[in-house]
Amino acid sequence: MPIRQMKEGSEQHMVIKSQLQNTMNPLQKNPKTAQNGKGPPITEPQNNKIHNTTSSPPSRNRGRRRGRGGRKSDQGEAFMRPSSRPCTAASKPVIVAAENVINVSVSSSSCQLVAAGSGFPSSSKSLCFAPRPGYGQLGTKCIVKANHFLAELPDKDLNQYDVTVTPEVSSRSVNRAILAELVKLYKESDLGMRLPAYDGRKSLYTAGELPFKWKEFTIKLIDEDDVINGPKREREYKVVIKFVARANLHHLSQFLAGKCADGPQEALQILDIVLRELSIKRYCPVGRSFFSPDIRKPQPLGDGLEAWCGFYQSIRPTQMGLSLNIDMASAAFIEALPVIEFVAQLLGKDVSSRPLSDSDRVKIKKALRGVKVEVTHRGNVRRKYRVSGLTSQPTRELVFPVDDNSTMKSVVEYFQEMYGFTIKYTHLPCLQVGNQKKANYLPMEACKIVEGQRYTKRLSEKQITALLKVTCQRPRDRENSILQTVQHNDYSEDPYAKEFGIKISEKQASVEARVLPAPWLKYHETGKEKDCLPQVGQWNMMNKKMINGMTVSRWACINFSRSVQESVARGFCNELAQMCQVSGMEFNPEPVIPIYMARPDQVEKALKHVYHAYVNKLKGKELELLLVILPDNNGPLYGDIKRICETDLGLISQCCLTKHVFKISKQYLANVSLKINVKMGGRNTVLLDAISCRIPLVSDIPTIIFGADVTHPENGEDSSPSIAAVVASQDWPEVTKYAGLVCAQAHRQELIQDLYKTWHDPARGTVSGGMIRDLLISFRKATGQKPQRIIFYRDGVSEGQFYQVLLFELDAIRKACASLEPNYQPPVTFIVVQKRHHTRLFANNHKDRSSTDRSGNILPGTVVDTKICHPTEFDFYLCSHAGIQGTSRPAHYHVLWDENNFTADGIQSLTNNLCYTYARCTRSVSVVPPAYYAHLAAFRARFYMEPEMAENGGSPHKGGKGIREGGESGVRPLPALKENVKRVMFYC
C-alpha cells in the first residue's frame, strides 16, 4: 500500500535521536517509585520549554450523570482552555514543547540516517521498532509448552534463480507441474544433481549453485486430467532459468543471535518455501495451511459443504533460533458431488422435477460462481471448466449459433447429436463457463464438482457452528494432534529438507512463563462487597453494585417477535428493570409508552412510530433507552434497528432475543444490565489501582488509551468499503469508559485514512479534523485535562504491514496533536495486537489441576516474553482469559514504538489488568478492551451502510451523496452518528 508522504513545508519534521536520549519523553520513570503510587521525578530536558498546569482532583461521582459535551470544535481554542478540575498526579504534569518533532530510532548496523525536515523516510528500513527493554519478572513462574519446533540453520549457500515460463501461465499448480517435469528430466544432467525448491511463480532456490548462470529448457507437459484412458493433450513450454542472487545466511544467524535489528526476509522466505515443497505435493495448499480428506475424515457442514482438517506451518525467527510453528487447521470445502446433488443440498429440496424460482437461481449462481467442475458426459474425457454464471433461461429454451451463417441449434439437440447424451432435466438452467464474449453452456447433470476446492464465500450460522465443532479440540487433544502431524511429516526424511540441510526437532519447545496476578476490582461503597479479587479470570455481580450506576427514567419497549405476548414482554421488562436496580442503577419500572408490538418487515415505520409517540408525550425530553425484543432468527432486522437508531433517530437501544425473554436467566439479565449501564455512560467496575493512582505510566499524568481496528469485507465482496474504528478512554484516571468513532475507507485498505485530515472551508480556510483529533477534544471535555501521554493499541495488522501502519498512523497522531496546540506532542506508545496467529501454549503437565483452568487450558494471566518471541523486538504473548471450550489462543502484543519507556512488566501488567475491565461480562477477556471495543464498533458500522450496498457488496446508489470532505476518493461515507450516541459505548 502507498505510504502517504508529507508535503513540502509540512509542520512535521524528523530528527534522528538515540533511544537513550529521547527528548520527546522527559518523564523517565523509576519503576519502584511508580509502583508505590508516587509520582516519578521530573527531568527537565535541555533547550525545551516546560508548560506546567495545576489542577484539583476530579469529582469521584462525576459518572452519576451523563456528560453532555458541546459541539466539536474545528480549531484548538477549546482544547487549550484552562481546566477547573486539575489532575490527581502526585507531581505536576509536563508537556514538552518538542517543535513537532518525531523521534525515529535507527539501527547503526542497517538503517540509513534521514536528514531533519525531510519527512518520513522513503524506505521502511529507515525506521526501527522498539527494542526489548528487558524481560518481565512479575508473576508466578511456571513452564509451558509451545507448538514451536527448533529448526537448525543450514550451513549451505542458498541461491535464488529467476524463472520465466513461455507461454505465461497464471496457475501455480501448472507452473509447479512444468518445473517438476524439468527436474525429472534434467536433475542428473543440466541441474548437477540439485533438487530445487520453487515458489510456483518466478523464483527457484537451490542449495549450492547450478552448473549454469542462464539456460533455456523446452518442456512438454501432458494434461493428465484431460482423458482417463486414451490419447492425451500435450503442451510445450519454454523455461528460462537465470541466476539472481545468493542469500545471506550469515545475516540471518546474526539476526537470530540478536546482533542486528533487521531480519533478512529473503532467507526466511527461502527456508519457508523449502519446508513447504513436499507438503504442497502431498496436500491441498491454502495460504500457509495444508488440507487433505486423508488427514481426518471430512465432516458434513450442510448445503453441499464439508470440513477438511489440515495443519498450518510457518518458519519463524525466535530467541531460541529458527522455529517451525505447527498448528492444526480446518476449513470449509465444496463437496465433490454431481452438480445436481450439490444444488439439491444447497436449496434443501428435490430439483429434478420442479423449475427453479428466481431466488433459487440467485442462490445457485452465488454458490457456484468461480467453482471448478469437470464434465461427465464424454466418457473418458474429464475436461475441467470454471463456472462463470448461470443461464436465466431453462436448458430447453437455450439455442446458440453453430456456424458463421448464424445457423441456430438448441443445447438439447447439440448434446444429443455431438455426444449421444440425452439431457433429462431440461427445466433447469445451464452452467455458463468461459468468459462473457465466448460463454459455453454445460447442463448441470453433465457436471461434477472437482475435489479439493475451498469454499471462500460466507458460511451460514449453522455451517459456522458445525465448523467450530470440528475445529474445537481440548488442549491435550490439540497438542497430541500437532505432535502426530510433526511425526507424520517426518522432516528428517523430507528430501527437500535434506537437500538444503534443514533439521527439524520433533520435540516441542518448553518455555518459561509467568502467571500475572489478577487485579483488585472496585465496586460501589453501598454494595455488600466493595471490592473483588477475580478467581481464575472470573467473578460475579452477587452482593456488588456498579461503581457508577446510571439513571434510566425514560424508556420504551418495542416487540418484533410474534411469539412473545404483551404480558410476557411486560414481565421480562419488569425483571430486567429489577436487575438493573439490584446492580446499582436507578431504573424506572414503567415505560414512557405502552409496549409496542410490530412486524419485522416494518422496522423503520415501527421505530419512527415509537419515536414520535414519546416525543409527543415527553415534550422535548429525550428517550434514554429503547428495549427491543427480536425473533431468534431475525436476519437483517438487528442491523436495521442499529442503523436507524444510531444514525437517524439518536436512540440508544438494547436488543434481546425471544429465547432469553421466555427463559429469564439471572445471569443473562445481569449481563444485559452491565451493557445498559455503559450505554448510558456509566461504569460497572474500575481497577482499584486506578482509583488509588497506582498504575505506572498511566496514573501519574493524564493518559488517553486508544484502540483502533479495520474490518474488511468478506471474500467475494469486491467493492464494499473497509470500515475503520477508533475508540479512546474518556475517564482518566480510571480508564474504563470509551467513546468511539467509525468511518468507511477504500476496499481492503488497512491504513486508517481518517485518523487526521484537513480540508478547505470557504469561510474558515483550512480546517483540521479526524478521529484522533475529535477524541482528544472529547477527552478534554470529559476530564478537564488534556492527554499528556498516549497509548495506542492497534488491532488487525499483519507483520508485513507493521512498517506502513506505524509510519502512516504515528504521523497522523502527531499531526492531530499539533493541530490542537503549537508544540503539543505527548509521548506515544504504539502496540499492535494480534489474535490471528498460530502459537498455542499448553500446560507442562495436563494432570496438574493447579496449573490449568476448568477447560484444561493454561491459567489466565500467563505471559511469555522469552524463547518463542522475537530475537530483539519488544513483544510478548499473553493469555489473559480463562478458556471455555477448545484451546485458548493467547494474544500477541508487539510494541512497535515506545516514547514512554515502558518496562516489560509495566506494559504486560497494564495490558493484563485492562482485560479485567471489559464492560459486557464479569470475566477477563482475551484481547485488551480498547482493541476489543474498536473491533465491535467497526463491525457495528457495517450495518450503517445502505441496505442494498450492504447486502450485495456492490457500489453505492447513483445520485447519492458526494465524497466525504477530506475522505478517501470514491468511497461513500457512512452516515454520521448522532451526538448523544457517539459520546457513549454504543457498540456494546
**216 and 240 in contact (C-beta within 8 Å)?**
yes
Whether the CB-CB separation of 644 and 603 falls below 8 Å is answered with yes
Beta strand 555-559 pairing with 625-630: parallel
CATH architecture of 523-682: 3-Layer(aba) Sandwich (3.40)
One DSSP character per residue, 52-99 reads E----PPPTTGGGS-----PPPSSSHHHHSPPSS----SS--EEEB-T
Nearest Cα to 190, choosing from 121, 239, 246, 252? 239
Q: What is the DSSP letter of 552?
A: E
Average pLDDT over residues 826-852: 95
Pairwise CA distance, residues 410 & 402, whole Å = 10
pLDDT digits (tens, 9 = 90+) for 59-117: 334 333 333 333 333 444 445 443 333 333 333 333 333 333 333 333 333 333 232 23
Q: Is the pLDDT of residue 359 over 70?
A: yes
pLDDT tens-place string over residues 935-972: 999 999 999 986 544 444 443 333 333 223 334 457 88
Range of weakest confidence among 218-232, 317-331, 505-519, 951-965: 951-965
**Greatest mean pLDDT range, 69-73, 409-413, 860-864:** 860-864
Residue 704 has pLDDT above 80, yes or no: yes
| DSSP label at residue 482 | H
Domains 523-682 and 687-834+915-945+971-987 share a fold: no
pLDDT of residue 623: 93
CATH of domain 687-834+915-945+971-987: 3.30.420.10
Superfamily of segment(s) 339-450: paz domain (2.170.260.10)
With bands split at pLDDT 50, 70 and 90, how would you rate the model's confidence at 715? confident
Tell me: cis bond preceding 733? Omega within 30 of 0 counts.
yes
Q: Shortest CA distance to 454 belongs to which of 338, 281, 284, 276?
A: 284
Q: What is the mean pLDDT of residues 538-557?
A: 96
Which H or E run contains 906?
helix 904-914
Phi, psi of 196 (to 5 degrees): -80, 160
Break the chain into its structural domains and give their ranges.
155-247, 339-450, 523-682, 687-834+915-945+971-987
Half-sphere exposure of 543 (CA within 13 A, CB side): 6
Torsion of CA 133, 139, 145, 147, to 10 degrees: -50
3-state per-residue secondary structure call for 106-129: CCCCCCCCCCCCCCCCCCHHHCCC
Q: What is the mean pLDDT of the chain?
A: 85
Under DSSP, is residue 662 helix (H, G, I), strand (E, B) or coil?
helix
Of 934, 788, 615, residue with least CA distance to 96: 788
**Residue 566 backbone class (left: φ over 0; alpha: ψ -120 to 50; beta: rest):** alpha
CA distance 743 to 721: 10
Neighbours of 392 (CB within 10 A): 11
Question: What is the reported pTM?
Answer: 0.84
Q: 501 near 495, Cβ under 8 Å? A: no
8-state DSSP, 304: T
CB crowding 160-172: b at 16 or more within 10 Å, else e: bbebebeeebeee
The secondary structure of 866-879 as a DSSP string is SSSS-SSBEEEEEE
What does the pLDDT read at residue 511?
98
pLDDT above 70 for 10: no
Q: What is the pLDDT of residue 106?
A: 33
State whether residue 557 is helix, strand or coil. Answer: strand
How far is Cα 356 from Cα 550, in angstroms, rounded to an integer?
A: 55
Q: How far apart are CA 702 and CA 693, in angstroms?
A: 11
- Please say if the pLDDT value at position 42 is more than 60: no
| N residues, the chain | 988
- Percent of the chain beyond pLDDT 90? 72
pLDDT for 946 equals 66
**CA 811, 812, 815, 820 torsion-angle sign:** negative
Q: Measure the CA–CA gap between 40 and 25, rounded to whole angstroms.
A: 13
